[in-house]
Amino acid sequence: MDLPAALRAHRLVAIVRGTDPDAALRTVRTLVEEGVALVEVSLTGRDALDVIAQARAALGPDAPLGAGTVLTADDARAVHRAGADFVVTPAVCEGVAAARELQLPVLAGVMTPTEIVAALRAGACAMKIFPAAQAGGPAYLRALKGPFPNVPFVPVGGVDTTAARAYLNAGALAVGVGSPLVGDAADTAADTAADASVEAGLDALRSRARTFLGVVRAVAQDAS
């Protein structure tokens, strides 16, 4: 897939990291149903490879599906087998080069200019500024855009709706959002999807998804 083009088109990456595999899969499906086209399933979640495989089967072959927290070559090979078609790393690590060997595009975690250069040399096609809030927020992103005007940046970490708008206005190609969007939806176990607490959680997830998508649309309208 053309990851930079997808990031430019959708501007939002949802990060699903759950303690319950069934809940994580429901979360992925619900986000996509609401229009959040780019979803990353973190390997730090329970049975994440199974979640990725089931999500791929449920979403079909053409839906973008990412795997996050890919650190090693074994991680890259495993998520490729599971059906991920893009990789997200928390750092410039072995997983970047291994994913590129498998022809998977990489959103690589960076914080400093030196790490950005290293990630570009390793083959990453977009940079995840992580943790973005601790790195300095939108002001830091603007500073990075000076020496790296053509590098696609995706801030991740502490990105709520207010921060999402600020980062996008500061030049971010997209933003990555975990708990401010997903909440505890990927942790809520239930015997059936009809369980009242699950439905309430999914309703709240849908509402948050619509709010974040509204921010993305508003930024696009302001820029036009």
Check 94, 115, 128, 145 and give the catalytic one: 128
Q: Please name which of 177, 139, 184 lies closest in space to residue 161, comparing C-alpha atoms.
A: 177
Give every CB contact of residue 116 below 8 A, 6+ residues apart in sequence: 110, 127, 144, 148, 151
Check 33, 34, 40, 101 and give the catalytic one: 40
Q: CA 84, 88, 90, 91: dihedral to nearest 10 degrees?
A: 110
Side-chain half-sphere of 147: how many Cα atoms within 13 Å?
A: 8
40 among known catalytic residues:
yes
145 among known catalytic residues:
no
Catalytic site residues?
A: 40, 128
